Structure 1
Amino acid sequence: MTQTDTAAPASWSIDPADVARFSAIAAEWWDPKGKFAPLHVFNPCRLTFIREQALARFGRDGNDRAPFEGLSLLDIGCGGGLLSEPMARLGFSVTAIDASERNIATAATHADEQGLQIAYRPATAEQLLAENAGPFDVVLTMEVIEHVADPGEFLRTCTRLLAPGGLLIVATLNRTLKALALAKIGAEYVLRWVPPGTHDWKQFLKPEELRAFLAAEPVAMHGPFGVTYSPLTGRWSRSTDCDINYMMTVTRD
């Protein structure tokens, strides 16, 4: 047993039960029809948003093959690397961390097979901050904050890893009755998109709570930016509806 797969010091914001849950299915990250199939479907929408926000923030040319060359990116809670790999292909120098050693092993093996250089390591955001790692031009924490034990401290730690002029993107689930019905009960117990118990609705977060977490930090928060799923097309897209899934950006000047 490893510490990152079973337990964590009290100073870490991770939830050991959630780490263990994702560790148990780590080998399935890159199976588009496996337990992470919903993330594979969600990924194009997430990638488009990240790319658009980063192009605007850093004034890069989207026609370039690797528009973000020379910029650093930290993917917190990277899982099997579903975002880390396309970020590396876009030119970012990618550091990717996860509290699960099994997730990191899966991600590193897949990146090697693709010939991609990504600095994977089993670690938490708090560890990197304590080590004075970074700062990073872009920090991603996508569908992670609803799984941590102390979301406020976790988000503040993420912002402190951000370089001046940098961009943080956070994606999560809204704590609404609509999200309870569709993202929790519907997705887990009716459609079986994700294993039952993947989410705890009480840990979903409202946009105003994210803003409150960072009220005393020297950063600006923007959004929320809603995303919705269409059962007719089988695709996710940007939306004004933030009742279930949404993203927010944080900038440091």
Structure 2
Amino acid sequence: MSTIDPAEVEKFAAMSAEWWDPEGAFKPLHGMNPCRLDYITRQIAAEFGCDLTAPRPLEGLRIVDIGCGGGLLCEPMTRLGAEVTGCDAEETSVGVARHHAVEQGLDIDYRATTAEALASEIEPVDVVLAQEVIEHVADPATFVRDCHALLKPGGILILSTLNRTPKSFALAIIGAEWVLRWLPRGTHDWSRFVTPDELAALCEQAGLDVLDRTGMVMAPLSRQWSLSPTDLSVNYMMLARSS
């Protein structure tokens, strides 16, 4: 079964030209990105013994970014030395990502494909990233299994998504889409948000060991994001390891 939801792909196709505009449709992701990168790099460093003070601390690691969009995570991972493959089901976004990488002089393997297809195309990798993706797929359980299939034994999966709580509805739907209009109305469907316990269960059912879950919180006045070990009520990240 394909995990792709055509209606969700169409939403992002309509916004694809704005991927690298920090004031455009993906403004919330640009604001969140430093916080996500902080978590991702620290978890990778802890798992693989990387020295984050080195010029290219992730050299020798292979990373796949599922639902890479315009490459907001692929580019910094590449600059840190990793060999990166970015895949997205939305072809226009992949084209934007390729063009931007060329402009930046970065060698990134971008593919317009799905996680399930990619697993048969490449050798298993050290790290799979799936950021703000699972709430848009048709079958979350299959999606997590497909991500696991991409990993080497001992490899790690890092996910981020939105919790399904009244607070997330108020902030991510009413606030971000209806009032502030940071995102086009209808970008998210609250009923498809995934709680941390649900996501942990999906990981465990796929044969992954959940190692960590951490929240991401935005300060309302400064709009700066930070990691929170206790507040997972809206945005959160999860780390799981392949056995």
Q: Does 1:66 align with 2:51?
A: no
The 2-side partners of 1:208 and 1:95 are apart by 29
Between stretches 91-100 and 221-230, larger displacement belongs to: 221-230
2:99 pairs with 1:124: no
Q: AA paired with 1:202?
A: S
Q: Distance in 1 between matches of 2:208 and 2:110?
A: 27
Residue of structure 2 in register with 1:179 after alignment: 168
SS of 1:108's equivalent in the other structure is helix
1:222-233 equivalences under 5 Å are 222-233=211-222
- Paired position in structure 2 for 1:154: 143
- Which residue of structure 2 lines up, in the alignment, with residue 165 of structure 1? 154
SS in 1 for 2:205: coil
- Indicate the SS of the match to 1:227: strand
Counterparts of 1:164 and 1:225 in 2: how far apart (Å)? Answer: 23
Structure 1 stretch displaced more, 217-226 or 177-186: 217-226
Question: Which residue pairs with 2:78 in the alignment?
Answer: 88
**Corresponding residue SS for 2:204:** coil
Residue of structure 1 equivalent to 2:130: 141
2:199 to 194, 210, 216: 210
CA contact under 8 A between 2:144 and 2:206: conserved in structure 1?
Answer: no
Alpha-carbon distance change, 184 to 195 in structure 1, aligned in 2, over 3 angstroms: same
Aligned partners of 1:132, 1:29: CA distance in 2, in Å?
26
Amino acid at match of 1:252: S
Which residue identity does 2:19 align to in structure 1? W
Identity fraction in percent: 54
Gaps of 5+ in 2: none
Deviation for aligned residue 1:233: 1.8
Q: Distance in 1 between matches of 2:123 and 2:129?
A: 13
Instruction: Report the AA paired with residue 31 of structure 1.
Output: D
- How far apart are the structure 1 equivalents of 2:193 and 2:212? 17
TM-score, length-scaled by structure 2:
0.97
Letter in 1 for 2:43: Q
Structure 1: how far apart are the matches of 2:54 and 2:203? 34
Separation of aligned partners in 1, 2:88 and 2:202: 22
Give the match's secondary structure for 1:109: helix
Aligned with 1:41 (options 11, 19, 31): 31
Q: Indicate the residue corresponding to 2:187 in structure 1.
A: 198
Per-residue CA deviation, residues 120-146 of structure 1 (Å, 9 max, x unaligned), is 0100001112x2522110100000000
In the TM superposition, what is the alpha-carbon distance from 1:205 to its structure 2 partner? Answer: 0.3
Q: Which amino acid aligns with 2:32?
A: F
TM-score with structure 1 length normalisation?
Answer: 0.93
Q: Secondary structure at the match of 2:86?
A: strand
Cα separation, 1, equivalents of 2:218 and 2:239:
21
**C-alpha distance in 2, partners of 1:206/1:244?**
9
How well do the aligned residues superpose, as a CA RMSD in angstroms?
Answer: 1.0
1:18-40: per-residue Cα shift (whole Å, max 9, x none)?
A: 10110111111001111111111
CA shift for structure 1 position 63: 1.1
